[in-house]
């Protein structure tokens, strides 16, 4: 569990106490033929050791770009303008591709959205696990098979022995995702990134996969970053959560705080529009559209869609300020947001 | 029932699949029956592969059922050929799951929504133009989008075009196949609002197919839960969600991720084991028995039938009556009530 210390580097490269991954002021742009897209404009994120941190937001808000930047898997059109990604005392932004190869899969595991597309269709499950175990753990065929079998059993795959010889097309999507989780956790990585792990899975299978994910992350003693647009998934699974919008982090805190004492109007909008059939829902949505990140607004990114924006929001960008114990929000109107919103969010704040 | 618009009577659909020399039957839909009342929203939920889309495609005339009948406004339409089906197409439309895939990439928005008009209603150029402008206003699209192509639109706009195409000929019944599945939460809300608004204004009846229980709970008055091609439970949506009777419905509803409630302890979640069995080799007896937490010996042998177990609720489960019980009188009534919350 604690094989790797976070103290290899010294001084500025050291991550804060109890933090596995420290992202500071990360800015990423994409150079496309229709202009420069400002995908990430200054992201700060700390992943606490042994915890699951969820990252929520709508399509195009920069969740996946953040994950890909950590893995250094950004496409060639991307450019990291500034920022540091500190992991294990090293800055991942400055790593060479071959240095990253030694980290990916070994110290940082990742699972992707579409498990079927992420597995190689030409190789059996056993071979794919062998590549990984051979490369990072230097296991021979025999030991690799033993380990693979144990891994598949750990992800509760029925008939693990038979499944080792299966090709991805012979498996259901849920099983493919289990194989992905097994591969991600094969080398007991310090950090585990799951990018939309259950999107496209049926609810009953989703519940199983999430339960498994949670169980394994805690068991291996790993730290996880869970990216999803489904707030329900985050609420069920993660300890901390961050909400992103337009390439910025707008709110961060413990999952409970964010859901019960929401401060940012965007988070409130998201929460209210994701009705889950729990009680007598009303139809809510956030008016307007996501900003064009080729020309990011000069003020707050959410200003154009915000119900409580003031003159200040148009002019300057709000910083993330800590409201209370670890709950940070980037909004000038953080206090007022609930009042204008009325309803539940407002009343919870009244009591506090 | 004078209010009914669509009655599906024991439709079956099987596809043949060839595996080398073996020919196997995939039973996608088995003896599915339900009734949709005029002006209501009827929901069909279930996990992928349970036959909900196939059922809709049968109703829309895109597949021909292997057995059973579909009665639409008093006419049997289940086994018509393409030409005989044509007059019904105007009154029975479908909105598809993936908005981009269901639009012709080489048709501009104008061509897409004009095509059904040209086929079904011969209008003068002036009337046609007026109709197109009206519909655009109804679905909330700006008229400068008419010359755009699908890839130039956002996914919300694409779905609006899909809806415009479906409603431009004034249909009576619209089949919505996962209309919001690929949309962001905030866009999803707006599309649902649009659909409900259109229903109110134009008096359309919807058959909504979805695996998103939140949407179904919000929109549908009656809901049928499907599993492996069979309807396992059918009833008034709100009751169904509050007091699910069939263990599968219970598991499905319990598996939804919730925003609040994790803190309330571990009571939630009867996690069901395993995944859906292959429709090529259906389990014996009750289809759900390999995964069912309350399985009994009889479940392995006999397939339960849909029986009326409470007011307006039918369940196919041995927990609620044996096959000896007379098969209930009729399908639950999907009365004339509007479905809005």
ipTM of the complex: 0.76
pLDDT of A336 above 70: no
Assign 3-class secondary structure to chain A. Answer: CCCCCCCCCCHHHCCCCCEEEEEEEEEEEEEECCEEEEEEEEEEEEEECCCEEEEECCCCCCHHHHHHHHHCCCCCCEEEEEEEEEECCEEHHHCCHHHHHHHECCCEEEECCCHHHHCCCCCCHHHHHHHHHHHHHCCCHHHHHHHHHHHHHHCCCCCHHHHHCCCHHHCCHHHHHHHHHHHHHCCCCCEEEEECCCCCCCHHHHHHHHHHHHHHHHHHCCEEEEECCCHHHHHHHCCEEEEEECCEEEEEEEHHHHHHCCCCHHHHHHHHHCCCCCCCCCCCCCCCCCCCCCCCCCCCCCHHHCCCCCHHHHHCCCCCEEEECCEEECCCCCCCHHHHHCHHHHHHHHHC
Nearest CA in chain A to B262: A236
Residue burial A112-139, b: 16+ Cβ < 10 Å; e: rest: bbebbebbeeeebbbbbbbebbeebeeb
Computed over every residue of chain A, the mean pLDDT equals 84
Q: How many domains does chain A have?
A: 1
- Answer whether residue A292 is part of any domain: yes
Nearest Cβ partner of A273 from B185, B252, B258?
B185
Q: Which residues of A touch B41 (CB under 8 A)?
A: none
Computed over every residue of chain B, the mean pLDDT equals 84
C-alpha closest to that of B72 among B204, B172, B202, B222:
B172
Tell me if B230 sits within 8 A of B287, measured CB to CB: yes
Tokens of B40: 């209501």
The separation between CA B57 and the C-alpha centre of its own chain, rounded to angstroms, equals 10
Residues A223-246 have a mean pLDDT of 91
pLDDT of A52 above 90: yes
Sign of the C-alpha dihedral computed for residues B259, B260, B266 and B270 taken in this order: negative
- Answer whether residue A62 is part of any domain: no
Residues A277-301 have a mean pLDDT of 77
Residues A215-234 have a mean pLDDT of 88
Tokens of B312: 């307006």
Any chain A CB within 8 A of the CB of B261?
A: yes
State the pLDDT at residue B322.
Answer: 55
Domain that holds residue A334: 95-107+187-347
C-alpha closest to that of A128 among A109, A150, A144:
A144
For residue B302, what are the CA distances in angstroms to A27, B25, B44, B282, B322? 62, 21, 25, 13, 9
State the pLDDT at residue A340.
Answer: 41
Residue burial A285-298, b: 16+ Cβ < 10 Å; e: rest: bbeeebbebeebbe
Q: Which residues of A touch B257 (CB under 8 A)?
A: 203, 206-207, 210, 230, 232-233, 235-236, 276
Residues A84-88 have a mean pLDDT of 90
3-state SS class at B68 = strand
Nearest Cβ partner of B259 from A158, A172, A276?
A276
Contact B255 A210 (CB under 8 A): no
Q: Which helix (H) or strand (E) holds B210?
A: strand B205-210
pLDDT of B275 above 80: no
Nearest CA in chain A to B291: A204
Q: Which value, in Å, is the radius of gyration of the alpha carbons in chain A? A: 21
Considering only CB atoms, which residues of chain A are within 8 Å of chain B?
A: 58-59, 158, 172, 174-175, 202-208, 210-211, 229-233, 235-236, 256, 259-260, 269-271, 273-278, 280-286, 289
- Answer whether residue A219 is part of any domain: yes
Mean pLDDT lowest among A59-63, B160-164, B277-281: B277-281
State the pLDDT at residue B261.
Answer: 61
Residue B81 distance to chain A (closest CA, Å): 35
State the pLDDT at residue B136.
Answer: 92
Q: Which residues of B touch A259 (CB under 8 A)?
A: 259-260
Question: Residues 6 or more apart from B270 whose CB is under 8 A from it?
Answer: B247, B250, B251, B254, B293
Mean pLDDT lowest among A115-124, A285-294, B206-215, B286-295: A285-294
Nearest CA in chain B to A207: B255
**In terms of pLDDT, which residue wins out, B233 or B49?**
B233
- Answer whether residue A170 is part of any domain: no
Contact B255 A280 (CB under 8 A): no
- Give the span between the Cα atoms of A187 and A102, in whole angstroms: 12
- Answer whether residue A115 is part of any domain: no
Any chain A CB within 8 A of the CB of B10?
A: no
Residues B247-266 have a mean pLDDT of 73
Tell me if B61 sits within 8 A of B89, measured CB to CB: yes
Nearest Cβ partner of A207 from B217, B241, B255?
B255
Compute φ and ψ for B312, nearest 5 degrees.
60, 30
- Give the span between the Cα atoms of B38 and B334, in whole angstroms: 8
**Number of cross-chain residue pairs from A and B with Cβ atoms under 8 Å apart:** 114
pLDDT tens for B3-61 read 889 999 999 998 887 777 778 888 889 889 999 999 899 999 988 878 888 999 999 98
Nearest Cβ partner of A256 from B154, B255, B263?
B263
Question: Residues 6 or more apart from A274 whose CB is under 8 A from it?
Answer: A230, A231, A232, B185, B214, B259
Assign 3-class secondary structure to B120-169. Answer: HCCCCHHHHHHHHHHHHHHHCCCHHHHHCCHHHCCHHHHHHHHHHHHHCC
State the pLDDT at residue B263.
Answer: 42
- Give the span between the Cα atoms of A341 and A347, in whole angstroms: 10
**In terms of pLDDT, which residue wins out, B330 or B136?**
B136
For tokens 């540091």, name the residue: A84
Any chain A CB within 8 A of the CB of B154?
A: yes
Would you place residue B232 in the very low, low, confident or very high pLDDT band (cuts 50, 70, 90)?
very high
**In terms of pLDDT, which residue wins out, A289 or A152?**
A152
State the pLDDT at residue A30.
Answer: 93
State the pLDDT at residue A275.
Answer: 66
C-alpha closest to that of A247 among A156, A330, A352, A327:
A330
Contact B186 A269 (CB under 8 A): yes
Nearest CA in chain B to A235: B259
Q: Provide the percentage of residues in chain A whose pLDDT is more than 70.
A: 89
Residues in chain A: 352
- Answer whether residue A79 is part of any domain: no
User: Given the DSSP bridges, would you call strands A223-227 and A191-195 parallel, antiparallel or unpaired?
Assistant: parallel
Angle of CA points B317, B64, B61, to nearest 5°:
100
pLDDT tens for B69-120 read 999 998 999 888 888 998 899 999 999 888 888 899 999 999 999 999 999 8
Residue A114 distance to chain B (closest CA, Å): 14
- Answer whether residue A320 is part of any domain: yes
Q: What is the pTM of this model?
A: 0.80
> The CATH number of the domain where A223 resides is what?
3.40.50.300
CB atoms within 10 A of CB A247: 26
pLDDT of A196 above 60: yes
- Answer whether residue A46 is part of any domain: no
pLDDT of B300 above 60: yes
State the pLDDT at residue A12.
Answer: 65
State the pLDDT at residue A114.
Answer: 82
Contact A231 B261 (CB under 8 A): no
State the pLDDT at residue B49.
Answer: 79
DSSP code for B72: E
């Amino acid at each position: 569990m604690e094989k790797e210390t976070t103290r290899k580097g010294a001084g500025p490269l050291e991550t804060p106490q109890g933090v596995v991954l420290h992202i500071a002021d990360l800015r990423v742009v994409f150079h496309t033929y229709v202009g420069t897209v400002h995908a990430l404009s200054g992201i700060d994120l700390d992943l606490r050791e042994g915890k699951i941190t969820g990252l929520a937001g709508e399509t195009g808000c920069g969740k996946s770009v953040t994950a890909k930047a950590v893995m250094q898997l950004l496409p060639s059109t991307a450019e990291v303008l500034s920022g540091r990604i500190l992991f294990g005392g090293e800055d991942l932004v400055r790593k060479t591709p071959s240095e990253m190869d030694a980290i990916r899969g070994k110290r940082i595991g990742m699972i992707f959205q579409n498990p079927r597309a992420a597995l190689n269709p030409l190789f059996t499950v056993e071979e794919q696990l062998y590549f990984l175990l051979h490369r990072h753990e230097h296991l021979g065929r025999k030991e690799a098979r033993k380990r693979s079998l144990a891994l598949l059993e750990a992800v509760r795959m029925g008939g693990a022995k038979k499944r080792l010889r299966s090709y991805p097309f012979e498996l259901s999507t849920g099983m493919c995702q289990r194989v992905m989780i097994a591969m991600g956790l094969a080398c007991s990585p310090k950090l585990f990134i799951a990018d939309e792990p259950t999107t496209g899975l049926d609810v009953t299978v989703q519940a199983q996969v999430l339960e498994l994910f949670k169980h394994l992350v805690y068991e291996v003693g790993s730290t996880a970053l869970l990216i999803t647009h489904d707030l329900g998934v985050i609420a069920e699974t993660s300890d901390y959560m961050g909400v992103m919008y337009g390439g910025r982090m707008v709110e961060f805190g413990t999952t409970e705080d964010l859901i019960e004492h929401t401060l940012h109007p965007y988070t409130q909008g998201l929460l209210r529009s994701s009705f889950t059939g729990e009680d007598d829902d009303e139809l809510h949505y956030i008016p307007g559209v996501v900003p064009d990140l080729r020309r990011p607004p000069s003020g707050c990114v959410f200003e154009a869609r915000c119900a409580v924006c003031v003159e200040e929001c148009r002019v300057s960008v709000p910083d993330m300020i800590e409201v209370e114990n670890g709950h940070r929000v980037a909004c000038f109107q953080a206090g007022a947001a609930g009042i204008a919103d009325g309803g539940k969010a407002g009343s919870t704040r009244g009591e506090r | 029932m004078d209010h009914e618009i669509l009655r599906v009577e024991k439709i079956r659909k099987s596809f043949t699949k060839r595996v080398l020399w073996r020919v196997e039957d995939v039973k996608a839909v088995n003896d599915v029956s339900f009734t949709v009342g005029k002006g209501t929203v009827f929901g069909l939920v279930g996990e992928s592969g349970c036959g909900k889309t196939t059922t809709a495609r049968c109703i829309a005339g895109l597949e021909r059922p292997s057995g059973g009948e579909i009665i639409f406004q008093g006419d049997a339409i289940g086994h018509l050929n393409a030409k005989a089906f044509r007059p019904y197409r105007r009154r029975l439309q479908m909105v598809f799951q993936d908005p981009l895939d269901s639009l012709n990439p080489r048709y501009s928005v104008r061509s897409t929504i004009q095509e059904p008009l040209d086929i079904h209603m011969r209008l003068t150029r002036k009337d046609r133009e007026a109709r197109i402008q009206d519909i655009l206003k109804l679905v909330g699209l700006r008229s400068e989008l008419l010359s755009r192509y699908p890839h130039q639109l956002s996914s919300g706009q694409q779905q609006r075009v899909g809806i415009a195409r479906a409603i431009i000929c004034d249909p009576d019944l619209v089949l919505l196949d996962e209309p919001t599945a690929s949309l962001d939460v905030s866009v999803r809300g707006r599309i649902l609002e649009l659909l409900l608004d259109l229903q109110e204004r134009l008096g359309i009846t919807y058959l909504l197919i979805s695996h998103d229980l939140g949407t179904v709970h919000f929109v549908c008055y009656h809901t049928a839960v499907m599993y492996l091609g069979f309807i396992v439970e059918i009833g008034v949506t709100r009751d169904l969600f509050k007091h699910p009777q069939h263990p599968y419905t219970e598991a499905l509803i319990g598996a939804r991720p919730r925003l609040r409630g994790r803190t309330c302890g571990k009571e939630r979640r009867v996690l069901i084991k395993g995944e859906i069995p292959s429709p090529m080799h259906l389990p014996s007896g009750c289809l759900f028995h390999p995964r069912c937490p309350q399985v009994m010996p009889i479940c392995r042998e006999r397939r339960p039938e849909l029986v009326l177990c409470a007011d307006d609720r039918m369940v196919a489960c041995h927990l609620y009556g044996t096959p000896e019980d007379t098969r209930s009188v009729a399908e639950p009534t999907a009365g004339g009530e509007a479905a809005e919350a």
